[in-house]
């Protein structure tokens, strides 16, 4: 590479432009820091703005008394895997954060009939203070704030690595529009890069959700926690079991009015799912092993190739609840589908309940490195209440932004990237057959790490990935895009290794984690699993008590 000047200097670099990243950037800029907001896709991206869902909601406790109930419920639903201090801190900040959002002019939609059972959050036992985020209005207001606060935007800019000196962030290496590598000198970096749906072949995420943020943190001495707890959700598919370009999330509330059917060679046979089981399944979206209605998800998973057909009874058409009516109005507009249409569903990887281990303000184990949103773990457990993912982005995005700004202020001046000739030392390399390896990895994760997991499938997937890693051919290159894509693939292989190891280590079924050989919760595994990197080897072990 030719030696180039630093692309820019800033106080706080935010990586990821979903809700968490945007909130972090706004809050850091409000603290009078020079902020750069970059995204590997466009601004307003990631799961926060996923186009295959009909709405984005967040919940909060009704009052102080409800705060304590929500804290207890999160810990119960999380099956002991959520960090109590993180949960308490999270819940206590929800109501002030909603007031803050209204103060900065973000439009929130309240339920007209909030006492309807459809507004009980997923896995919860009661209604909460529910607020819908109007995506178009949110974009407009966020755009205004980003301009007012003079935040520099870098869309289609990929984070390649962070740079540390003396265990402290001093900069980042980025790739602009797949063409050019640049260094950014900064005092603090906030990772808001989302989950790791990109490890799976079928996923309810956008293409920028790759899991590389988690691995970059891992490379720099940080710890990952609860990575085996990945949410799996039903989504719409065609007769061949294929989703549209942007898969549409199935509205679980409609299970209450559904009949599940399978195709045979001669006729259609109604599946034996009683009304009580469908009623239970209608109360939550992602798969859980905690309830008898998990049999419905097993049924959906068994029809992965062609999708499981869903039909609706007349009761739904005669008296459609507000929450479901909103969904079908949106579905008609997006896909021209109605309750009378042929609807088939299959299981997809959705959202991560685990990620980078942070403290209450979003700080990691590396000075100057912060994280927020779905890239993090600790505030959620084995299952997660609906509306908490969005709340997480707002609450911890705001906190991480403020904490990073305060940290940057303490660094009165840039320590500087000592070796200004780093670009001369940077040797570019590539993995020639990376598309084949990526495809094999995604297929292996689908076969091993979806709804039903077994020792055999997990072992086979791990063997496939380890074989690729051990026999990988790497060659030098001058192609920047090839280098960035190859480094991303290596990150994904390492991350997949850690996840599969964690899934094997947890020999029980707890929340979103189901092991066929171990269908029940086992008290001896009532500890979180941590993933670390030592000498470039992925280490997976139970957290010390």
Query: What pLDDT was estimated at residue 4?
Result: 45
Residue 3, pLDDT > 60, answer no
88-96 long-range contacts, CB within 8 A, separation 24+: 89/360, 90/379, 90/391, 90/392, 90/395, 90/396, 91/61, 91/67, 92/67, 93/395, 93/399, 94/59, 94/60, 94/61, 94/391, 94/395, 95/60, 95/61, 95/67, 95/129
Domain boundaries in the chain? 231-350, 425-542
Number of other CB atoms surrounding residue 259 within 10 Å: 13
Give pLDDT tens digits for 470-519.
999 899 999 999 999 999 999 999 999 999 999 999 999 999 999 999 99
- How far apart, in whole angstroms, are the C-alpha atoms of residue 366 and residue 402? 17
Number of other CB atoms surrounding residue 66 within 10 Å: 17
Residue 231, pLDDT > 80, answer yes
Mean pLDDT of the chain: 91
pLDDT bin (cut points 50, 70, 90) of residue 273 is low
Mean pLDDT of 115-135: 84
Query: What pLDDT was estimated at residue 482?
Result: 96
Which residue is it, tokens 């009165």? Answer: 412
Percent of the chain with pLDDT over 90: 79
Mean pLDDT of 254-274: 68
Cα 278 to Cα 122, 255, 314, distances in angstroms: 14, 6, 16
Residue 237, pLDDT > 70, answer yes
pLDDT bin (cut points 50, 70, 90) of residue 263 is low
CA neighbor of 384 nearest in space, from 204, 215, 226, 191: 226
Residue positions counted in the chain: 545
pLDDT bin (cut points 50, 70, 90) of residue 272 is low
What letter does residue 70 receive in the DSSP assignment?
A: H
Query: What pLDDT was estimated at residue 266?
Result: 38
Give pLDDT tens digits for 31-90.
999 999 999 999 999 888 888 887 678 999 999 999 999 999 999 999 999 999 999 999
- How far apart, in whole angstroms, are the C-alpha atoms of residue 357 and residue 362? 9
CATH fold of 425-542 reads Methane Monooxygenase Hydroxylase; Chain G, domain 1 (1.20.58)
Q: Which helix (H) or strand (E) holds 481?
A: helix 480-505
Give pLDDT tens digits for 517-527.
999 999 999 99
Reported pTM: 0.94
């Amino acid at each position: 590479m030719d030696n180039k000047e630093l692309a820019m200097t800033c106080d706080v670099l935010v990586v990821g432009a979903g809700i968490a990243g945007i909130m972090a950037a706004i809050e850091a800029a409000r603290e009078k820091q020079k902020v750069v907001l970059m995204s590997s896709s466009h601004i307003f991206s990631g799961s926060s703005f996923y186009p295959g869902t009909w709405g984005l909601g967040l919940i909060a406790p009704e009052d102080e008394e409800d705060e304590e109930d929500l804290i207890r419920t999160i810990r119960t639903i999380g099956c002991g895997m959520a960090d109590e201090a993180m949960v308490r801190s999270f819940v206590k900040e929800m109501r002030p954060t909603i007031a803050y959002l209204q103060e900065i002019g973000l439009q929130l939609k309240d339920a007209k009939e909030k006492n309807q059972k459809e507004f009980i959050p997923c896995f919860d036992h009661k209604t909460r203070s529910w607020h819908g985020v109007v995506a178009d209005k949110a974009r407009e207001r966020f755009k205004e704030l980003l301009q007012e606060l003079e935040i520099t935007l870098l869309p289609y800019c990929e984070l390649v690595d962070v740079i540390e000196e003396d265990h402290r962030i001093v900069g980042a290496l980025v790739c602009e529009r797949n063409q050019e590598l640049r260094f950014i000198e900064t005092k603090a970096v906030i990772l808001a890069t989302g989950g790791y749906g990109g490890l799976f072949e079928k996923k309810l995420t956008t293409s920028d959700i790759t899991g590389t943020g988690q691995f970059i943190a891992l490379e720099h001495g940080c710890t990952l926690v609860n990575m085996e707890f990945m949410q799996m959700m039903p989504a719409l598919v065609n007769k061949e079991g294929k989703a549209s370009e942007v898969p549409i999330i199935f509205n679980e509330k409609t299970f209450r009015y559904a009949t599940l059917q399978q195709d045979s060679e001669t006729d259609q046979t109604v599946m034996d799912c009683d009304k009580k089981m469908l009623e239970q399944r209608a109360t939550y979206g992602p798969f859980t092993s905690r309830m008898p209605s998990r049999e419905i998800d097993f049924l959906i998973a068994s029809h992965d190739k062609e999708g499981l057909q869903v039909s609706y009874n007349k009761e739904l058409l005669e008296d459609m609840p507000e929450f479901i009516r909103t969904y079908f109005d949106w579905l008609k507009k997006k896909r021209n589908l109605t309750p009378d249409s042929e609807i088939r569903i299959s299981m997809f990887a959705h959202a991560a309940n685990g990620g980078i281990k942070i403290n209450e303000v979003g700080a990691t184990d590396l000075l100057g490195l912060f994280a927020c949103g779905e890239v993090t773990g600790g505030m959620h457990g084995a299952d997660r209440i609906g509306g908490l993912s969005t709340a997480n982005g707002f609450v911890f995005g705001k906190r991480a932004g403020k904490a990073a700004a305060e940290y940057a202020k303490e660094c009165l001046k840039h320590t500087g990237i000592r070796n200004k000739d780093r670009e001369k030392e940077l040797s570019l390399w590539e993995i020639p057959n990376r598309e084949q390896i990526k495809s094999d990895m995604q297929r292996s994760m689908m076969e091993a790490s979806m709804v039903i997991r077994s020792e055999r499938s997990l072992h086979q997937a791990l063997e496939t990935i380890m074989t690729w890693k051990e026999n990988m051919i790497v060659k030098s290159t001058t192609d920047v895009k090839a280098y960035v894509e190859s480094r991303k693939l290596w990150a994904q292989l390492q991350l997949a290794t850690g996840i599969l190891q964690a899934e094997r280590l947890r020999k029980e079924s707890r929340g979103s984690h189901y092991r066929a050989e171990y269908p029940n919760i086992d008290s001896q595994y009532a500890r979180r699993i941590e993933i670390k990197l030592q000498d470039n080897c992925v280490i997976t072990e139970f957290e010390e008590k």
